[in-house]
Structure 1
Amino acid sequence: MNLLNKTIQEKSVIENLIPQKYPFIMVDKLHHYSETQVITGLKVLATNIFVKHGAFMAAGLIEHMAQSVALHTGYQFFLKNEAAPTGYIGAIKMANILELPKIDQELTTTATILHEILGVTLVQVQVECNGAIIATSELKTVLAN
C-alpha cells in the first residue's frame, strides 16, 4: 500500500500506525509523510476526552502533537513491515498554546524532525486551525525498548 501521496483518514489504518487506542487517539488523518516531516490532522469532536466546555484543552493539544510524532514513527515502521513501537514524551522543551480549538474545528499539524538517534527524537511541532497557528512546541520523544 502506497500512502505517501494521499491523505489517510481511515480509522483502522491510523490506529494500526500508532500505539494509542480508543478513547486516547488524538490524530485522525495523515496528510503527508517524508523522512523528516509529517503533516497530520484531527477533527475536534465533542466526544473527545480532552474536550471541556466546548474547547479542546491544552493537554489534548500536547497529546495531539506527541501522537503526530508517533504517527511519523509508526509509518516509518510500517514501511519496514514492522509493528509500531510504543513511545513516550521524554521532554517538552517549549510549548506555546495560543488558542484552544473548539468542537468541530480541524487541526493541521506539522512535525519536523530535527534530530533522531537511538530511539530519541527531537521534533519541532506547529498546530494550525482555520489558517492560524494556535500552538507550537519542541518535544523530545523516546521509544520504549
Structure 2
Amino acid sequence: MNLLKQTINDKGLIENLIPQKAPFIMVDKLLHFSEEKVITGFTPPSTNLFVDNNKFMAAGLIEHMAQSVALHTGYQYFLKNESAPTGYIGAIKLAEILELPNQDQELITTVTILHEIMGVTLVRIQVTYNDKIIANSEMKTVLAN
C-alpha cells in the first residue's frame, strides 16, 4: 500500500530527507512510499557532477540508487517527526549498468526492501527510463549510530 498521498517533488523537502547536500543530490522526486518499497525519480541536469558528454555516468547511477535508499529511510523518520540518521553503503553485492542515460532524461528507480534488521537494510534496486531497465543493484546500507 502506497502511504504517500501525492508525489513529493519539492527540492527543499527532498534535501531535508536525505543526508547529502547540493551539489551532491541525486534524487528529486518521491513517487511511492511503503514499508517494503520506495519509488524515486531523478532527472540529471547538464550541471550534475556525474554528467560527462551528455551522459549520466555509472558512478552517478550508483549514487542515485544509494540516495533512493536514503530517501526511503528519511521519509520513514519524517513520518515519525524524527530527523533521519546518516547511512552508508555497507556493501554492493551486484551493480549492473546496462545503459548510461542521457542528461535530462527522467530516471524512475524502484527500491525493494528485502531485509531490515538492526540498522542494516538489504535492498534490490532497479533503475528505468522510458520503461526500459538500465541498471540493477543489490546493496546493503548501514545506519550510523
- TM-score range, shorter-chain basis? over 0.9
Structure 2 residue aligned with 1:119: 119
Secondary structure, aligned partner of 1:67: helix
Secondary structure, aligned partner of 2:102: coil
Residues 1:18 and 2:23 are matched in the alignment:
no
CA RMSD of aligned residues (A): 0.8
One-letter amino acid matched to 1:68: S
The structural deviation recorded for 1:84 is 1.4
The structural deviation recorded for 1:80 is 1.0
**Matched-pair contact (CA < 8 Å) for 1:44–1:101:** no
Structure 2 residue aligned with 1:79: 79
CA distance in 2, matches of 1:60, 1:67: 10
CA distance in 1, matches of 2:62, 2:139: 9
Structure 1 residue aligned with 2:53: 53
TM-score (norm 2): 0.97
One-letter amino acid matched to 1:32: H
Residues 1:27 and 2:57 are matched in the alignment:
no
Secondary structure, aligned partner of 2:107: strand
The structural deviation recorded for 1:73 is 0.2
CA distance in 2, matches of 1:103, 1:96: 19
One-letter amino acid matched to 1:106: E
How many residues align structurally?
Answer: 143
Secondary structure, aligned partner of 1:89: strand
Residues 1:88 and 2:91 are matched in the alignment:
no
CA distance in 1, matches of 2:7, 2:139: 24
The structural deviation recorded for 1:5 is 1.9
Identity across the alignment (%) = 73
